[in-house]
Amino acid sequence: MDSLQIDSVMLEDTGLSLQLADGSPAYFNYYWLRDNCPSSFDRETRERTFDIFHSRNAPKPSAVKVEERSLVVDWEGEDHQSRYPLDMLASYAYGERRPDPSDLPRKPWYSDHYPDVCRVSHPLLLESNEERRRWMEALLVEGVAIVTDMPDTDEALTQTGLQIGQIRPTFFGPYFDVRTHIKPTNLAFTSKALELHTDVPAEEYAPGIQFLHCRANSVAGGLNLFADGTAVANDLREIDPEAFRLLAETEVPFYKEHDGYDMRSYQRVIELDQHGEVSGVTISQHMADIFDLPQRTFDTYYPAFVCFGKMLQEEKYVMRFSLQATECVTFDNHRIVHGREAYSATSGERYLRGTYTDRGELRGTYRGLVSEGRFK
Ligand SMILES: [Fe+2]
């Protein structure tokens, strides 16, 4: 078949062309059409039940027509008719991604952000979808929010995490306690200063959302330090595009080794999203492995890496505050770098309990709250 005009539809070997409701022409492949017949999906499970791998032949129409703002296709060798609303076809005519309500523009923030940090009360979070939406939107847009009025219990942290999604264990287990340890396995478990970092980049897929519940904080010192890695990376992009490119394209190794485990991964220091926008950073001086790239690469990579690391620490970017008992700071672990100043371990008690969930869980729960999906 070369091409055949039926009604206003032009049939070709591999697909058909028609005019959309707005008059613009559009082409649709026969496989795509057959696979995505509205009857392919079960309304109860909301899953695809049609399996194109079981089709004997390449799909071909035996008859087509446009009626009542729908394309109607009968399929050769099948007793099956498909009916596609033209509006549905229009959404897929140009290969654009399905609109994602969680794909919100990020708002960079700087050292003066603390008074404006989104705050939500723990008891309200548990009962109000609107409060959960507001909280999750802050995590998507600004990457940080504080949950207040947390009960002084272990369960409160888990309960908070579960408002977003399933708890994501790491090699520390399903949660971690940050206080001074006698035999520390991590710098966090000492009273020394903790440089700005993202957590556990040694894991192949580091957890996306972090929760740090402050249970006690009466020590002298130990101010919390937070900075928006995307704000810093965006500025680097302006100041030194070549350094930015190197950090966004080069994978460098991270590690975490102790008794019984030897975690290793390669990560890009600057992460870009599908729009080419900075979506995050991965940085941890205490988990950076010995970089094992060709030595000549370091002639350009190290200056870029050091420049970025120094920028992260500039006063302009670092938000300093003291997390109070009953507060839980929640943040995007792939975007927000965090650390703390040294504190005096004998001056009082400092105890934080932390856990994680993933970015995908956050986006999935957020979409469920604000949109109807395809099946409601
Ligand atoms: Fe950390």
- pLDDT tens-digit series, residues 128-152: 999 999 999 999 999 999 999 999 9
Q: Is the pLDDT of residue 94 over 90?
A: yes
- Cα–ligand 1 centroid distance for 129 (angstroms): 29
> For residue range 51-66, what is the model confidence (pLDDT) as tens digits?
999 998 999 999 999 9
> For residue range 291-333, what is the model confidence (pLDDT) as tens digits?
999 999 999 999 999 999 999 999 999 999 999 999 999 999 9
- Cα–ligand 1 centroid distance for 195 (angstroms): 9
Percent of the chain with pLDDT over 90: 84
Q: What pLDDT is attached to residue 302? A: 98
Percent of the chain with pLDDT over 70: 97
Q: What pLDDT is attached to residue 353? A: 97
The answer to which of 21-25, 70-74, 80-84, 105-109 has the lowest mean pLDDT is 21-25
Strand partners of residue 357: 209
Q: What pLDDT is attached to residue 220? A: 87
Q: Is the pLDDT of residue 365 over 60?
A: yes
pLDDT band of 193, cuts 50, 70, 90: confident
Cα–Cα distances in angstroms (integers) from residue 300 to residues 87, 175, 244, 313, in the given order: 51, 39, 11, 21
- Cα–ligand 1 centroid distance for 197 (angstroms): 6
Asked if 1 and 15 touch (Cβ cutoff 8 Å), the reply is no
Q: Please state, in angstroms and rounded to a whole number, the distance separating the CA atoms of residues 281 and 268.
A: 8
Q: Is the pLDDT of residue 184 over 90?
A: no
Cα–Cα distances in angstroms (integers) from residue 344 to residues 17, 38, 186, in the given order: 72, 64, 18
The whole model's pTM is what?
A: 0.93
- Cα–ligand 1 centroid distance for 233 (angstroms): 20
What integer is the mean pLDDT of 102-107?
Answer: 97
pLDDT band of 215, cuts 50, 70, 90: very high
> For residue range 19-33, what is the model confidence (pLDDT) as tens digits?
998 889 999 999 999
Q: What pLDDT is attached to residue 342? A: 86
- Cα–ligand 1 centroid distance for 339 (angstroms): 6
Closest CA to 328 of 119, 111, 68: 119
Mean pLDDT of the chain: 94
- Cα–ligand 1 centroid distance for 198 (angstroms): 6
- Cα–ligand 1 centroid distance for 281 (angstroms): 14
- Cα–ligand 1 centroid distance for 296 (angstroms): 32
Q: Is the pLDDT of residue 267 over 50?
A: yes
